[in-house]
A = this chain, B = another copy of it.
C-alpha cells in the first residue's frame, strides 16, 4: 500500500522507515507541483502540519483536492495547533475538507474543538466533523461519532523520541487503505503502535536504542503477540 506523506521535517525519515518496516511504500515530496501526481498513485494521503513552511502551505490544499476528487482517504495530523494561531486557522480550513481521520493529542484537540478531551467530547466532535477522531495519549480514544474504542497500550518512552506520534499517524493512513472501516483501522494502527512501543521499551536501554528497536519490533510483530498484548475496550 502506498502512502503519500506531506509531513514535517523532523518526521519525514522516521515516517518513511515506519511505513517500510510494516511493508507499506512511502513517498514524501512536499513540492506543490508534484503532490498531485504522488497523491494519485498512492492509496492514502497523510497531511501533517508540523514545520508548516510556504512550500507545505501551498502543497497541502493541492494534495487534499486530488485525494477528494478521487474519493481517496486522507488523514490529518494538526501538530502543535495549540502553539501557533496561524497554524490553528490552517488546520480548521483543512478540517472543512473532510479528512477520513483526525489524529491529535489532547492539547491539539482542545485547540480545535474548544472542549477538553473527554471521551464524550471526542465522540461529539467526531460526529460533528463527520470523521473518525483518534486521540492519542496515555489512553488512546478513537471514535467515529457513534462507536468509541479506548486503547491502553503504550509506554512513556514513546514521548521521549521525536515524531513518534507523527509516524504513528502514517500507520493509521496505511491501515485505513487496507480496511473499509476507518474506526477499526485507526484503532488497530494505534494498538500496533502501542504494543510495539511496549515491547521496544522493554528491550531498549533508553530513547536512543528505543527507535531502532521499535522499528525491528514492528517489522516482526505477529498476530499472536498482538492478541496476547492488546488491551482495549
Q: Spell out A's residues near B (CB within 8 Å).
A: 8-10, 12-14, 16-17, 20-21, 26-34, 37-38, 41, 50-55, 57, 80, 83-87, 159-163, 204-209, 211-220
Contacts and interface: CB of A to CB of B under 8 A. Distances in A.
A10 B12 contact: yes
B20 A160 contact: yes
A143 to B, nearest CB: 28
Question: In the complex this chain forms, how many copies of it are found?
Answer: 3
Contact of A208 (B21, B30, B84, B206): B21
Contact of A37 (B38, B84, B205): B84
Contacts of A20: 159-162, 207
Contacts of A87: 34
B31 A54 contact: yes
B206 A41 contact: no
Nearest to A159: B20
A212 B216 contact: no
Contacts of A218: 206, 208
9 contacts: A10-B12, A13-B163, A20-B160, A30-B53, A32-B53, A34-B87, A37-B85, A206-B219, A208-B219
A207 B211 contact: no
A128 to B, nearest CB: 27
A144 to B, nearest CB: 31
